[in-house]
Structures are given as C-alpha cells and as structure tokens.
Chains A and B, each alone.
Chain A
Amino acid sequence: MDKLIITVLGKDRPGIIAATAKSLFDLNCNLENVNQVILQNQFSGIFIVLPPPELSLNTVKTTLEKDLADTGIYIHVNLADTAPNGNGKGEGENFIITTIGPDQKGLVAKFTRIIADANVNVTNLRAVFKGGDTPGANIMVYEVLITPDTDQKALFSALRDKAAGLGLDVSIQHKNIFQAINKI
C-alpha cells in the first residue's frame, strides 16, 4: 500500500501525539515524517506513514477514530502523493520575505497573490499578530523558493510596492544570511 497522510486537528491537550502514535504502532505502521504546530491552543499535526501492504486506508481511519474517540480530535486520512511538487522548475534559492506593520484584513491574501502570480512557491509561512498599539509586533514571514526562471526583480518590486501602499515595512533577504547570523 502507498504511504498515507494523516491530519490530526483539535484543541490542544496532553497526549494527542502519544495516542495517535500508539494507535499507528498497533497497526504496524511506520512513521516517516511528523510535523505539529500549536496556534492559540489549537493543535494541528501531520503524519506521513508507511502502512503494511495488507492494511487498507479505511482500516487505518476507523481504528484511529475509535482510539481517539474521547479526545474530540478530528482525523483525516488520505493517500500521500509523494511525487515531486510539480512546479517543474528544478532547484531554486530560498528567500525570506518579512513584513512588519499595522494589522489589516487580507494581508496574507494580498502578498501570497503576488507571490503566486510570479509562480513562486511559499514553503513556509508564519504570521504573528501580537501588536494592538505596537504595529512592530505584527510580523508575517514568508519563506519562498525562487527558481532561476523567476523574474526576481519584478517580484521584489511588486512586493515592495504593495508593502508601501499598505504602510508596511518589508524586508526581502536570502535565507543564507539568517543562517549565517543565527545558526552557529
């Protein structure tokens, strides 16, 4: 059987990962990748697992739902499409785009639209909105993969224009600079 991608969502509490992992272990599934994040008390976890050949997707789903029934957690199981991501543009370079400034509706939509129009993939996104009276505490960080055929100047210019129009301070820098400074 192909790999499965299991998404686990719900209010955070101790034991979610333990229960999920135990259930998968009992099903003789091998955990290959796990990533979890907690946003404002909400738990989100993604598990990529390799099940034994005889196990069906449906069995995994029903077993997990049964084992985690008393946690109030939502579980979604699907076949994992592990083929390359399909942008077909080969290797690129990672840049980090940061905007700092007043919160307003639609920021992520506006910036990701510009990035998408340049056919650039967002590989990581973090938005931290902590500043009511301190706009400097509102930060959005987009990590993007820019491939050689990207019109880099046009993309950066569009991002800077958009940021200026919205009263935001934007920084666009190659990831290696953060690596050099922070990862010693």
Chain B
Amino acid sequence: MFNEQEILSTIEMVKNEHLDVRAVTLGINLFDCVSHDLSVFKHKIREKIVTRAEALVPVCNTIGEKYGIQVVNKRISTSPIALVGAPFNAEQMVEIAICLNDIAKEVDIDFMGGFSALVEKGIATGDRSLMDALPRALAETQRICASVNVATSRSGINMDAVLDMAKVIKKAATLTAQDDGIACAKLCVFANIPQDMPFMAGAYLGVGVADSVINVGVSGPGVVKKAIERALEARPNLTLGRIAEVIKTTACKVTRVGELIGREVADNLGTRFGVVDLSLAPTPTVGDSIGEIFQALGLTSIGVPGSTAALAMLNDAVKKGGAFASSHVGGLSGAFIPVCEDLNIAEAAEKGYLTIEKLEAMTCVCSVGLDMVPVPGDISEETLAGIMADEMAIGMINNKTTATRIIPVPGKKAGDSVFFGGLLGAAKIMKVPHATNQDSFVRHGGRIPAPIHSLKN
C-alpha cells in the first residue's frame, strides 16, 4: 500500500497541476503505398492509415480513463510525403494534403504530421512539389502539419531553401489572412530535425523506423512549477543545484507516466513502442505555463536577464530526469518557449520583457527555437529568411535541433493582437527591428558550408 503522502502527491499532480500526456502519436510508414498513380496512392494511404489508426482514439481514451491521466492529443505522423509522393506535382501534392486531412477527420485525430521534406543538402523533385504546394495545402486543410528541414550540422544550411520557405510562409499567411495567417502555425522550418518524434508541427516518421510505432510526448510545466514552489516554501534558501535536483526528480516522474501510458497504448494497438519525448510543452492555461516556471525560480518574468541561464538549467534537468526514467528517449526533449501557446510568455512579450532578440538567445539552450512567434504582416521575405537563417545557424553550429514557426500576420503590425484559439493560444505581435528591409545576404543562395566538426567520423 502506498502511504498517504504518495497518494496525495499523485492525485495533486494529476488533478491540480495539470499532469497529462500531451500527445500520443502513431507513426505510420507509407513507403509501401508508393505509386505513380495519384488515385492509387491516395487509396493505399487511406487504407493503411485507417486500418492502423481507427482504434487509436478509443484506446487512448480508455487508457486515459483507466489511469486518470488524460491523453490530450491523439496524432498521426507519416513518412515524409515529399519522399513517398515524389512523382507528384504541386497540384497533386495539395490533393494529397486534402486526402490526409479527410483521413485525419475520419479517424478523429487532432493533427496529422508528415507533410514534410528534407532539403538540407538540396531540393529534389518531390521536395520542390511539396514546398510549392505548402501554402495551399496548409490553407485548405485544418489538421495537416508540415515541416521542412533546411539545415543539418553535417550538411550546412541550404540558403536557397531558407529563402523559398520565407516565400512559402508569406504566401501561406496571405491565403489565411482572414484567420491571422493560421496556416503558418502548422509549419516548422528545422535544422537537425530529429526523426521519429511526436511533436507537431514537425512530427514525421523517419526512415529506419518500424512500419508503425507509438511515440509519446509528455508535458507537465505545471507539475514542475509546483514542485519548485513546494521545495522553496519548505526551504527558502535552497541553492540552484538543489532546485535542479527537484526539477530532475519531477521530470523523471512525469516521464514514467508517459512511458506507462505509451506502452499500454502500443500493446493495445499491437504496435511497437518508440520513444518518449520529454519536452515541457505549455498550454494557454493559467498554472500550466513554461513562463511561470521562470517566476517560480525568482525571475520577474521570462525574458529578463537570467532567463537564459534558468532555461539552460531547466532544460538540462528535464533531460537528466527523463533519461533516467526511460530507456528510449527521443524527439525534441527539452523546454519549449512558444510565444502564442503560453499565456505567461505571451504576456512577457506584450510587456516588453521578452524581445525577439532575447528569444533567439534563449533558443541556444532550449529544445526548439523561435516557436509560434507572430510578427508584422509586412515583414520582408529577406528579413524573414534572415531570422530563419540565424536560427538554423544556432542549430548547425551547436549540433542541436532548432526550428522556426513564425507567423507574419497579414494586415497587422507590432502590438496588435492575434488569436488562434485552442492550444495555439493568443498573443500580441512582436516587434521585429529591420522588418521591412531587403538585405541581399539571403539572396546569395547556395549552401552555407557545414562546420569543421561535421568531419567527425
């Protein structure tokens, strides 16, 4: 029997500290659906995905009920569509996106990821079709998420792709201008994208993974924040080393919950278990915010001096705790700092504590990058590409994943409000210095060479 403290703390984590499983993602390999005939291809992917995924949502709900832990999002990731749909042109790629969106609705999942291309070393025919299709594919669907990997530490940065993606983002925003450019909230541009990860918008099933696999993304910023607050209440003079220990232990518990549920979902669906992604991902809910962790650590707000150090400590402790809890850790694994999706971070940006430059600095130590950042709609393609190139360079040089999910909001300027609803949240548009200028740097194109340490072998 558990003692009353163990029982109460578990109930507290689940009920009041928002412990949940953020996402269970079923990865499905589509390489065996390849065909040069679009109707055959669409028929095959529908048959395969529906067969594998029809039980996903009911199983997640049943297991969530059994454990008293909600599985917030049920998702699917597929093999990169630019690869499995390589014979098709952009128009046909849009059709594929619409077909995938219909399948997502049919099996009642929240998002389908994998409308993706890997172009760090060059853009192949299928990649070009997919990138050209992206604005319409994202504007004309609701549940499709896309990602394009434009850089790796081994290959360098494909600057042609970076500029192309700036154009794609601008066009996608224009096509969804009535919804504040929401199409861009479903598109990530990556450096060093990990394969086999459950987090949208970048999720896709990598090559070299099993035919189908269950991945789990755990969350729990509310649990971490409360753990820090409790520890400091008991011992106000706790050192940062001891606070890191508290975060590590908490991350371990959260991860074990994720793995427990993920393995049971996998068993029920008769598929393999893949990885636990340890990322601390926020929600727009008070009490479940990454930003509030910074305040629990004694900072006025995320963004003030000290924030980068605090984030580095937080990220490292989360990884250490998670690594002990699970033997199969993957994905992004760290702390997200999205502007729109996190109420507290959005407020910090609005009050001026958090600028886009400080956000970029913090991405050197966080797990992703410039995430869900709304910027003025009249931002130039060159400035947008420059922001992305900077972020890719951080990832390339530091051997880490970085990404941008930037939303140029049509017709709006810095300080105006945007509201995307649901988990995507709301925020004020961030000020971008030099927004409308057109520096020629990014137009040189080509590939920024990989750093010297890429020669390691």
Contact = CB atoms under 8 A, between A and B. Distances in A.
B124 interface: no
Interface in B204-249: none
Contact of A180 (B1, B4, B7, B257): B257
Interface of A: 96, 98, 100, 124, 126, 128, 139, 141, 143, 171-174, 176-178, 180-182, 184
| A-B complex: 5 closest residue pairs judged by Cβ atoms | A173-B68, A180-B256, A182-B6, A180-B260, A181-B253
16 contacts: A96-B2, A98-B11, A141-B7, A173-B11, A173-B68, A177-B68, A177-B69, A177-B257, A178-B2, A178-B6, A178-B10, A180-B256, A181-B257, A182-B9, A182-B10, A182-B253
A145 to B, nearest CB: 13
Nearest to A126: B1
B68 A128 contact: no
Nearest to B256: A180
A180 B2 CA distance: 12
Contacts of B260: 176-177, 180
Contact of A139 (B8, B15, B67): B8
B276 to A, nearest CB: 12
Given A180-B257, A181-B10, A184-B252, A174 B2 contact: no
Contacts of B66: 174
Contacts of B257: 177, 180-181
A98 B68 contact: no
B326 to A, nearest CB: 11
By DSSP majority rule, is chain A's interface helix, strand, loop, or mixed? strand
B436 to A, nearest CB: 52
B13 interface: yes
Interface magnitude class on chain B: 20 to 34
A143 B325 CA distance: 26
Interface string B60-90: 0000001111000000000000000000000
B68 A171 contact: yes
Given A176-B260, A181-B256, A124 B1 contact: yes
A182 B249 CA distance: 10
Given A174-B66, A176-B67, A180-B257, A126 B4 contact: yes
B299 interface: no
B7 A178 contact: yes
Given A126-B4, A141-B4, A173-B67, 16 more contacts: A124-B1, A126-B1, A128-B4, A139-B7, A141-B7, A171-B14, A174-B66, A177-B10, A177-B67, A180-B259, A181-B9, A181-B10, A181-B13, A182-B2, A184-B252, A184-B325
A177 B260 CA distance: 8
Contacts of A139: 4, 7-8
Nearest to A130: B4
Nearest to A182: B6
Interface in B350-374: none
A171 B11 contact: yes
Contacts of B67: 173-174, 176-177
Contacts of A172: 68
Contacts of A98: 7, 11
A90 to B, nearest CB: 18
Nearest to B257: A180
Given A177-B257, A181-B253, A171 B15 contact: yes
A124 B252 CA distance: 28
A98 B14 CA distance: 13
